[in-house]
Amino acid sequence: MGQLMGGDPSLLRRINSAAVLRALRAAEPACSLTDLARVTGLSRPTVEGVLDGLTRAGLVAETTSQAPPGARRLGRPARRFRFRAEAGRLLGVEVGSRRVSAVLADLAGRRLGGVSRAVSTRAPADDRLARVTAAAGELLGRYDVAAPALRAVAVGTPGIVADDGSVALCTALPGWTGLPLGERLGESFQAPVLVENDANAAVLGERWVGAAVGADDVVMVLAGLSPGAGSLIGGRLHRGHAGAAGEIGALHLLGRLATPERLLSTAGTPVDPLDERAVARVLAQARAGDPRAGDAVARFVERLTHDVTALVLALDPELVVVGGWATGLEAVVEPLRRELDRLCLRPPRVVASALGPAAVATGAVRLALDRLEAELFTVA
């Protein structure tokens, strides 16, 4: 990036600082002063001044240059600098029907640890929120994270999420519709809190470090009895006009005979759409050759095919990722692929989630990292 002439000196400093910091993060573990000047297009004195400011801010540190073993060091060693990923922490949270999870990461997005706690499907909103803050507090305490070190918190939750972080509609969690989730959690954390739909968070996680790395047009399906989907179009999350994009679990309301509770029923008894253990049990019975379970899974795949086909025909993704919380969902990937090949004009690739049950919390970390990067690199 070349030098800008004239204008607001403080704006120029911010532009130069953003350029140097971005170069340092891309060059981990360290980068020399000469290389920083070359990559950014800034003069060495300008880079040195920027590094002094970033060092005072705690974001950059100078490192000791180590010569290879047995090598003779000639002259003065090159000054090298690194981005201090340990200067703060990011928190990704998943709120689910049967569990809450939290993942702690450094400022480079590297996972430091996680915690997961069970919660009742009937838990009222206040109890579920208390479980979230307790799990997060336990994790922060385990890694001795003081409140000022937490730079951003992101939460993945079922339901339609409004721009202000409230839950506009959620049928999966009692008392969740209308809940100002971002505001409530903001009372517990001294950091910005972002809230996103769980499937949207999951697709971001898969593209970051999962099965969709390198793909720009992706549909991620959380394939429960009432499925949801998150979509990327051109590498950007598609939320829709009011955050309701991907709510394919509502398609059964168009007049189909089987309700979600009956899809995987093997003995006439309804299956709780939130009971991932019951779903896993039927999938396992089908793999073992139980004919009633096999018929139930066939119904499940047929419904899932209809739901996913609607998205594929509308969005034309290059990749469909199938994930969720129930064990054994990878068994539906191949039959879903065959049906999409038959029904779609240009069938996408279909793969199983690489992150599994960790997809939502991982995507939440990605959202928190995006928030941090916007803070560090926005210069307007």
Same domain, 348 and 267: yes
Same domain, 161 and 39: no
Same domain, 108 and 137: yes
Chosen domain end from 56, 83, 110? 83
Per-residue confidence (pLDDT) for residue 331, from 0 to 100? 84
Provide the CATH number for the domain around residue 158. Answer: 3.30.420.40
Neighbours of 357 (CB within 10 A): 19
pLDDT under 70 in the chain at which residues?
1-9, 65-76, 225, 252-265, 267-270, 273-274, 380
Same domain, 137 and 79: no
Per-residue confidence (pLDDT) for residue 285, from 0 to 100? 85
Residues 290-307: tens digit of each pLDDT = 888 888 888 888 888 888
- Coil, strand, or helix at residue 355? coil
Whether pTM exceeds 0.85 = yes
Same domain, 136 and 227: no
- Please check whether residue 4 lies inside any domain of the structure: no
- Please check whether residue 1 lies inside any domain of the structure: no
**Cα distances (Å, whole numbers) of residue 54 to 31, 38, 41, 77, 110:** 14, 18, 18, 22, 21
**Cα distances (Å, whole numbers) of residue 227 to 175, 260, 375:** 20, 9, 34
Per-residue confidence (pLDDT) for residue 89, from 0 to 100? 97
**Cα distances (Å, whole numbers) of residue 264 to 200, 222, 276, 287:** 25, 16, 11, 14
- Please check whether residue 63 lies inside any domain of the structure: yes
- Coil, strand, or helix at residue 102? strand
Per-residue confidence (pLDDT) for residue 332, from 0 to 100? 86
Query: What total number of domains does the chain contain?
Result: 3
Same domain, 50 and 180: no
Convert 290-316 to b/e letters by CB count within 10 Å (16 or more is b).
eeebbebbeebbbbbbbbbbebbeebe
- Please check whether residue 311 lies inside any domain of the structure: yes
- Please check whether residue 324 lies inside any domain of the structure: yes
Provide the CATH number for the domain around residue 49. Answer: 1.10.10.10
Burial class (CB in 10 A: 0-12, 13-18, 19+), 5: exposed
Same domain, 247 and 345: yes
d(CA 153, CA 139): 13
Same domain, 158 and 173: yes
Only one residue has tokens 């809940």, namely: 179
Same domain, 220 and 348: yes
Only one residue has tokens 């926005």, namely: 378
Q: Do you know the residue count of the chain? A: 380
Residues 45-101: tens digit of each pLDDT = 999 999 999 999 999 999 875 544 554 555 567 789 999 999 999 999 999 999 999
Same domain, 219 and 349: yes
Same domain, 258 and 348: yes
Same domain, 222 and 341: yes
- Please check whether residue 253 lies inside any domain of the structure: yes
Chosen domain end from 28, 59, 83? 83
- Please check whether residue 118 lies inside any domain of the structure: yes
Do the Cβ atoms of 249 and 308 come closer than 8 Å?
no
- Please check whether residue 3 lies inside any domain of the structure: no
Per-residue confidence (pLDDT) for residue 259, from 0 to 100? 61
Q: CA end-to-end span of the chain, whole Å?
A: 16
Q: Which domain holds residue 132?
A: 88-203+360-377
d(CA 103, CA 358): 9
Per-residue confidence (pLDDT) for residue 5, from 0 to 100? 39
